[in-house]
Amino acid sequence: MKKISISSVILFLLLISNSIQGQNDKCFICHESIGDNASVLFKKDIHFQKNISCSGCHGGNNQSDDMEVAMNPRNGYLGVPKGDQISERCIKCHSNSETMRKYGSKLPTNQIEQIKNSVHWQRSTKGTEHIVQCTTCHNAHGIVSVKNPASPVYSLNIPKTCSTCHNSAVFMHSYNPSLPVDQYQKYITSVHGKLILKGDSKAADCSDCHGAHDIRKATDVKSKVYPTNIPATCSVCHSNTAYMKSYKIPTDQFDKFSISVHGKALLEKNDLNAPACNSCHGNHGATPPGVESISKVCGTCHVLNAELFSGSPHKQAFDKKKYPECETCHKYHDIVTASNELLGVSKDAVCSKCHSEKENRKGYYIGMKMRSLIDSLDAEIKTANALVNDAEQKGMEISDAKFKLRDANQAKLETKTMVHSVDFEKFKEIVSGKGLKTTNSIKDEASAAIDNFYFRRYGLLVSVLIMSILAIALYFYIKSIERGKKKIK
């Protein structure tokens, strides 16, 4: 009974307060009385609940029920704000922390600063206003908190809201004809999109990756989706163990990626050719590649490797055992530079996972021979390099041989590609025909330069000796002349 009475009191107070709100606002009273849709929507608006009058945005005198007075431009009446006037009305309060505090709001007041850096703050095709106004995303009347499921910028609604413009080829064509308009369609096929459609507001929506007010072009280095920033953007959620707990997926992807050859290239060397998360998982349609498509995903960059692998005997064997193609040997997020140690039959070599002297012997011996060849090429490159350095240290001009070292290293790189074919003869052709042939030529040139260095030294010794003998002889000759023992005729 007591509970019922307390509930009744609260309900009564709410009704009272609702009826009080707008009670003195002649604009609202009048527009509501004629069933104006804006006033119907406005009743649910957060601004209405904070006792902000229609005149807060439209101007005019909200205390007069005389239309001539209330809607007189002399009284500051603006009518329906148009273009940038809309955002200007919003900014008036939303960039003023004191005003916001007065209404008990804890909202940030830097939205305008953020949006000014945004791609949306470009001039529209009309040229008189910016592309978006606050109302484009937040609505005009009936604005509710972003946490309210009725808000167009509530997490679950954001993809739909953004797609209003971004799905329209005609509209987008006016601003960026090269930008796709199928983001929403892709998004709903992604893990994130599917979860959002299921009502999981924790899943990433557009604003989680692109930002809310500060959305920049993906080519802008400050954008959250600029290639070098993508891993950090994804890791906001994917490295958060507590946040990801319910999804039961690992949260070490970012750590692994950071130490990988791709991560180092992207994050340390700022190499934009290196893949970020979206390169393998997709961006709007983000999803983990399946076992069968891993080689296709890797093959978009590592074309030759994928092609050679597809034609190799390994392809069938992997398919049969349902092994993921690239991942089996190279792992996935923590892919490191493929060293010689991966090849062969030693304990750490990946070949020995399937091949041994007893099982799958052919591969065992091919792996062993390939390793031996690549090691010999490595050793020869090192020797050639040392000779070139030695010659250079001795001050010899050896730029040709130095340039050829690139060819030798290129051959080494080619062997790393050819290894995917598991074709020993082709592999051998690269090592011997290209690699070792080049290293031999480098060694010859470097050795000749070093020999030349010593030839110069010995040549100098001989010439200094001759000149010194001449000088001594001349000295004695002069002395003999001066002593009058000899006369020049």
Q: Which residues contact another protein by CB under 8 A?
A: 395, 397-400, 456-457, 459-460, 463-464, 467-468, 470-471, 474-475, 477-478, 481-482, 488
Q: How far is the CB of 385 from another protein (least distance, A)?
A: 19
Task: Report the residue count for the chain.
Answer: 489
Residue 20's nearest CA partner among 44, 45, 49 is: 49
Q: Which two tokens stand for residue 348?
A: 């750490």
The residue (of 150 and 478) whose beta carbon lies closer to another protein is 478
The residue (of 304 and 478) whose beta carbon lies closer to another protein is 478
The residue (of 129 and 407) whose beta carbon lies closer to another protein is 407
Q: How far is the CB of 394 from another protein (least distance, A)?
A: 10
Q: Do 45 and 144 touch, CB atoms closer than 8 A?
A: yes
Q: Which residues pair with 130 in a beta bridge?
A: 123
Q: Which two tokens stand for residue 433?
A: 């025909």
Radius of gyration of the chain (CA): 38
Q: How far is the CB of 408 from another protein (least distance, A)?
A: 19
Residue 195's nearest CA partner among 244, 145, 254, 252 is: 244
Q: Do 164 and 157 touch, CB atoms closer than 8 A?
A: no
The residue (of 65 and 397) whose beta carbon lies closer to another protein is 397
Q: How far is the CB of 268 from another protein (least distance, A)?
A: 23
The residue (of 40 and 462) whose beta carbon lies closer to another protein is 462
Q: Which two tokens stand for residue 10?
A: 């609260």
Q: How far is the CB of 410 from another protein (least distance, A)?
A: 22
Please tell me what DSSP assigns to residue 335. P
Q: Which two tokens stand for residue 257?
A: 């990626």
The residue (of 268 and 397) whose beta carbon lies closer to another protein is 397
Q: How far is the CB of 347 from another protein (least distance, A)?
A: 46
Phi, psi of 123, rounded to the nearest 5 degrees: -65, 140
Which helix (H) or strand (E) covers residue 55, if one does? helix 55-58
Residue that is written with structure tokens 């009744």 in the block:
8
Q: How far is the CB of 461 from another protein (least distance, A)?
A: 9
Q: How far is the CB of 483 from another protein (least distance, A)?
A: 12
The residue (of 214 and 445) whose beta carbon lies closer to another protein is 445
Tell me the C-alpha distance between 97 and 101, whole Å: 6
The residue (of 197 and 467) whose beta carbon lies closer to another protein is 467
The residue (of 372 and 468) whose beta carbon lies closer to another protein is 468
Tell me the C-alpha distance between 254 and 148, whole Å: 32
Q: Which residues pair with 302 in a beta bridge?
A: none
Q: How far is the CB of 382 from another protein (least distance, A)?
A: 24
The residue (of 303 and 472) whose beta carbon lies closer to another protein is 472
Q: How far is the CB of 474 from another protein (least distance, A)?
A: 5
Q: Do 152 and 161 touch, CB atoms closer than 8 A?
A: yes
Residue 49's nearest CA partner among 104, 8, 7 is: 104
SS3 388: helix
The residue (of 303 and 462) whose beta carbon lies closer to another protein is 462
Tell me the C-alpha distance between 428 and 370, whole Å: 8
Tell me the C-alpha distance between 112 and 130, whole Å: 12
Residue 181's nearest CA partner among 195, 193, 164 is: 164
Q: Which residues contact 41 (CB under 8 A, 6 or more apart)?
A: 139, 141, 142
Please tell me what DSSP assigns to residue 229. T
Q: How far is the CB of 177 from another protein (least distance, A)?
A: 34
- Type of residue found at 292: E
The residue (of 67 and 481) whose beta carbon lies closer to another protein is 481
Please tell me what DSSP assigns to residue 124. -
SS3 148: coil
Residue 135's nearest CA partner among 149, 156, 115 is: 115
Q: How far is the CB of 464 from another protein (least distance, A)?
A: 6
